[in-house]
Amino acid sequence: MQLPDAEKQKLMVESFFHYAPYAMFCLMPLFAVYLKILYLGSGCHYGEHFLFALHTNAFAFITMALMNLIPVEIARLALGAWLLAYLPWAMWRVYPSGKLATICRWALLMAAFSLTMGLAIAGCIATGVMLRH
């Protein structure tokens, strides 16, 4: 059965928002591995990076939940800006390095994690679509 393009797009968006929280949660150990790689030589152990990953991901989950619950657009934009700024600020506070180095590490972390999340969600969507047929 072939779905119209509008239905396909709607299914993809719904699938993304359905699987994204699961992927984000399941990939937290990998998030900590990325931090470990980015901060080689910092003296931090994997467990410390994992604890930081738990903390920052919990903040992201709460902020995104509030963004979904609050109907006021300006409040949602403010929460989105806060969410975007929180991780590099937290990295700068927890890991001693300069602001430019922190921004560079944050950009690399976001690129790697976004790619990993995208692949994980695509795999979930593909598996979900295959299971429906």
Is residue 26 in a domain? yes
CA distance linking residue 29 with residue 111, whole number of Å: 16
Please list the ranges in the chain whose pLDDT falls under 50. 133
Is residue 107 in a domain? yes
pTM of the model: 0.79
Is residue 110 in a domain? yes
H-helix or E-strand spanning residue 119: helix 99-132
Is residue 55 in a domain? yes
Of the CA atoms within 13 Å of residue 8, those in its CB half-sphere come to: 6
Q: What is the pLDDT of residue 128?
A: 64
Q: Left if phi > 0, otherwise alpha if psi is -120 to 50, otherwise beta: which for 8? A: alpha
Q: What is the pLDDT of residue 21?
A: 79
Domain that includes residue 20, residue range = 16-38+45-132
Give 3-10 contacts, CB < 8 A, sequence gap 24+: none
Is residue 11 in a domain? no
Is residue 9 in a domain? no
Q: What is the pLDDT of residue 35?
A: 96
- Tokens 């797009």 sit on residue: 9
- Tokens 């900590």 sit on residue: 32
Is residue 75 in a domain? yes
Is residue 73 in a domain? yes
Q: What is the pLDDT of residue 129?
A: 52
Q: How many domains does the chain have?
A: 1
